[in-house]
Amino acid sequence: MPRKSLKDIQSQPDDRNLPINKVGVKDITYPIVVMDRADGLQHTVARINMYVDLPEHFRGTHMSRFVEVLNRYQGGISTKNVRNILDDLKGELNAKTAHVTIEFPYFIVKAAPVSGEKSRMDYRCILQGDSSVDYYTLQVQVPLLSVCPCSKEISRYGAHNQRSVVCVTVRAKEILWIEELIEIVEHCGSSEIYALLKREDEKYITERSYENPVFVEDIVRNVAIKLLAHPKVLWFQVETESMESIHNHSAYAQIEIDKQKKGQR
């Protein structure tokens, strides 16, 4: 028997005359494949938000079509095809604008500095696309060790240190590897952090970080200098939060620079 035609409630007219800026699906847990500089591809699990605009004359959007579009990209999601996802969303939902946010853990194999023991470090990443602009936004959170320069200077024994989290957000037109951003940040603190260390590694990192103290202000400036020199980066924001070990608060610093506007001055 032929299937009975079902009424399309979402496409019914609406007389409230109010367009909606963003409507869609949020917090989809979804397996994805992302580009990996060392191994080509990496499998991970993402939390995904997808939105389009809705004209004032439609009552609702078709939520199932968002997942249908996502299913087309099971073979890999990256900075290379974010634009394709946005175009598909606009086409499938007859929208003028589309937005996508893809948040996922990214893993890099790191060797300890002395023992060479290898382990996987995870980094939180967010890839965002907006159809109204011709760039994408990539954010990476990188943990660091930071030793306080003031504490080292005024103390007879040692210096207090803390874990700092550097959040780097960049806009770019060309492909920018996640590993590139991580490497930039990890050279800007007292020491990088590892998932697995032996005693000889702990000794090395403790002594190296003591000889390289940095404030949160130093970290954001060090990262900013490197991003200013990066030819693919159009705009960036660098945030550093240090979870203080001897204070009941965190230390924080931020720098934001639009290189295109800076170049026009």
Q: What's the length of the chain?
A: 265
Question: pLDDT per residue over 222-257, tens digit each?
Answer: 999 999 999 999 999 999 999 888 888 889 999 999
* Residue corresponding to tokens 């590139």: 180
Helices 216-228 and 178-186: crossing angle, nearest 10°? 140
Band (pLDDT 50/70/90 cuts) for residue 184 is very high
Band (pLDDT 50/70/90 cuts) for residue 108 is very high
Using the predicted structure, report yes or no on whether residue 263 has a pLDDT greater than 70: no
Provide the pLDDT for residue 25: 93
Task: Out of 35-39, 57-61, 111-115, pick the least confident.
Answer: 57-61
* Residue corresponding to tokens 């500095």: 113
Band (pLDDT 50/70/90 cuts) for residue 11 is low
Number of H helices, E strands in the chain: 7, 9
Question: pLDDT per residue over 202-213, tens digit each?
Answer: 999 999 999 999
Using the predicted structure, report yes or no on whether residue 61 has a pLDDT greater than 90: no
Task: Out of 11-15, 187-191, 196-200, pick the least confident.
Answer: 11-15
Helical H segments across the chain, by residue range: 64-71, 82-93, 149-154, 178-186, 199-210, 216-228, 259-264
Burial of 37 (0-12, 13-18, 19+ CB in 10 A): exposed
* Average pLDDT score, the chain: 89
Q: Dihedral of CA 184/122/45/167: which sign?
A: negative
Contact criterion met (CB below 8 Å) for 55 and 21: no
Q: Which domains does the chain have, with CATH numbers?
A: 16-109+121-131 (3.10.270.10), 135-265 (3.10.270.10)
Global pTM reads 0.86
d(CA 159, CA 209): 10
Average pLDDT on 141-170 reads 93
Band (pLDDT 50/70/90 cuts) for residue 54 is confident
Provide the pLDDT for residue 132: 87
Using the predicted structure, report yes or no on whether residue 55 has a pLDDT greater than 80: no
Provide the pLDDT for residue 174: 81
d(CA 73, CA 30): 11
Provide the pLDDT for residue 246: 82
Provide the pLDDT for residue 258: 93
